[in-house]
């Protein structure tokens, strides 16, 4: 595969240019849902609505990047976080509670120890991929992602697995850990152990640390290899991306 000369940084990681050059787990998952919406988003023709869950997730991640990064995040998103009286909206008050739940657990903080927001790139099945790792500890040979969910016992229908599954499978966390582990290996020559720290939005929040056995990655590797060619053809303009007919983009552009 011909390598690009695009210089990926923390400032341009989420830019349209970076997303055009690189595949990512989030872009892959978006394309699986609707290739047409993913392509429209890359072209700037569609802005994906920011759900409350995504906003809270970004807030949580910023809270564990360090004081300086968190203060910058609060400044940049002030109007979304605070009301006219200067008080935080309910979703962010809940996020603060979730944050404290994690911070008050020594094992959670141990799992999240390490270098923060590490950017790496690599090649998978003929495409350049980018990843941003929440926490990576090179001495321990581990990497950890922080996740927030509604509750541990909630079940979700998955077309991919054709069954009701846990949040881990529903949100493709196994796929994400496979991609991250492989890209980290390409950059370090070592297979790091993947973990996620999960905190729930319950009152009070629950928490858990999950380890992913690499033996489960075989299915995800085959799935990415199978689905990726169609996504790349749509991204390169070789074919029109398939429409799911159900998402916000498809509903907005539907012609009867």
Question: What is the domain extent for residue 214?
Answer: 16-252
For residue 8, what is the DSSP state? -
Measured in Å, how far apart are the chain's first and last C-alpha atoms? 41
Cα separation values, 132 from 25, 115, 116, 136, Å: 10, 11, 9, 10
Q: Do 156 and 165 touch, CB atoms closer than 8 A?
A: yes
**149 lies in some domain:** yes
**Residue 1 confidence (pLDDT):** 42
Could you tell me the CATH number of the domain that includes residue 103? 3.90.320.10
**183 lies in some domain:** yes
Q: Is the dihedral of CA 118, 33, 92, 86 positive or negative?
A: positive
**158 lies in some domain:** yes
**135 lies in some domain:** yes
**6 lies in some domain:** no
With 0-12 / 13-18 / 19 or more C-beta atoms within 10 angstroms meaning exposed / middle / buried, residue 82 is middle
Torsion angle of alpha carbons 9, 15, 19, 25, nearest 10°? 80
Question: pTM (2 decimals)?
Answer: 0.92
**Residue 4 confidence (pLDDT):** 52
Tracing tokens 């799935």 back to the chain, one arrives at: 223
Contacts of 1 (CB under 8 A, 6+ apart): 123, 126, 127, 128
The rounded distance, in Å, linking the Cα atoms of 61 and 188 is 24
3-class secondary-structure state, position 6: coil
Q: What is the pLDDT of residues 111-143, one digit of tens each?
A: 999 999 999 999 999 999 999 999 999 999 999
**229 lies in some domain:** yes
Q: Do 20 and 42 touch, CB atoms closer than 8 A?
A: yes
If one counts the domains in the chain, the total is 1
**150 lies in some domain:** yes
Q: What is the pLDDT of residues 28-62, one digit of tens each?
A: 999 999 999 999 999 989 988 778 888 888 999 99
**50 lies in some domain:** yes
């Amino acid at each position: 595969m011909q390598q690009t000369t695009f210089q990926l940084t923390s400032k341009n990681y989420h830019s349209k240019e970076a997303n055009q050059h690189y595949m990512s787990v989030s872009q892959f998952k978006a394309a699986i849902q609707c290739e047409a919406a993913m392509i429209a988003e890359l072209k700037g023709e569609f802005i994906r609505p920011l759900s409350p869950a995504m906003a809270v997730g970004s807030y949580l991640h910023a809270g564990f990047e360090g004081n300086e990064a968190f203060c910058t995040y609060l400044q940049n998103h002030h109007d979304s976080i605070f009301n006219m009286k200067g008080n935080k909206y309910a979703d962010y008050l809940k996020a603060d509670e979730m944050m404290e739940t994690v911070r008050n657990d020594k094992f959670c903080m141990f799992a999240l120890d390490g270098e923060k927001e590490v950017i790496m790139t690599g090649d998978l099945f003929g495409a350049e991929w980018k990843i941003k790792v929440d926490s990576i500890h090179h001495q321990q040979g581990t990497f950890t992602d922080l996740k927030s969910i509604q509750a541990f016992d909630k079940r979700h229908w998955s077309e991919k697995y054709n069954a009701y599954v846990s949040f881990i499978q529903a949100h493709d966390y196994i796929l994400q850990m496979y991609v991250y582990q492989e890209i980290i290996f390409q950059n370090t020559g070592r297979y790091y152990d993947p973990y996620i720290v999960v905190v729930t939005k319950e009152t009070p929040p629950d928490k858990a640390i999950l380890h992913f056995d690499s033996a489960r990655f075989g299915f995800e590797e085959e799935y990415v290899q199978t689905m990726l060619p169609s996504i790349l053809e749509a991204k390169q303009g070789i074919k029109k991306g398939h429409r799911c007919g159900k998402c916000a983009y498809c509903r907005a552009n539907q012609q009867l």
